[in-house]
Amino acid sequence: MGSEGYEFHANVWCWKTTLEIIRSLDIMNITKLRMLESSGNGIKIEMDEAHLIGRKLYEEILPKLEPNKRMFINLTITDEPDDGTLYRDPDEAWKNYSVSYQWLKDFADFCLNSKGFQVF
């Protein structure tokens, strides 16, 4: 949204997990969260919201996660690396969605350094 042309790319596996993490922080209304779940709508996150997301990730999530760990969509943490297995059983499908410490740190930095962003 600013003139910096800064982009951050997320795949569906990381993005859905990130949205659940943001939901758990209780800093955004449910309507906006639902809009963020849909690609292509160009929803805007203003600078103050982006900075709040980045700060909360640093304050509340990253200290729990630690390097070399990852968080699943159900907010549980594991130190097992992602081996690329695609879980097709509905009871295990949650294992497909996770973010690593480094990915989430990079996203938090993006939020803190942005002038706001849009999701496409």
pLDDT in tens, 37-66: 987 788 999 999 999 999 999 999 999 998
Count of the separate structural domains present in the chain: 1
Q: Is residue 88 part of a domain?
A: yes
Q: Is residue 5 part of a domain?
A: no
Q: Is residue 54 part of a domain?
A: yes
Q: Is residue 59 part of a domain?
A: yes
Query: Which residue range is the domain that position 107 belongs to?
Result: 12-119
Q: Is residue 1 part of a domain?
A: no
SS (H, E, C) the chain: CCCCCCCCCCCHHHHHHHHHHHHHHCCCCHHHHHHHCCCCCCEEEEHHHHHHHHHHHHHHHHHHHCCCCEEECCCCEECCCCCCCCCCCCCCHHHHCEEEHHHHHHHHHHHHHCCEEEEC
Q: Is residue 6 part of a domain?
A: no
Report pTM. Answer: 0.91
Tell me, what's the pLDDT at 4? 63
pLDDT in tens, 8-42: 999 999 999 999 999 999 999 999 999 999 877 88
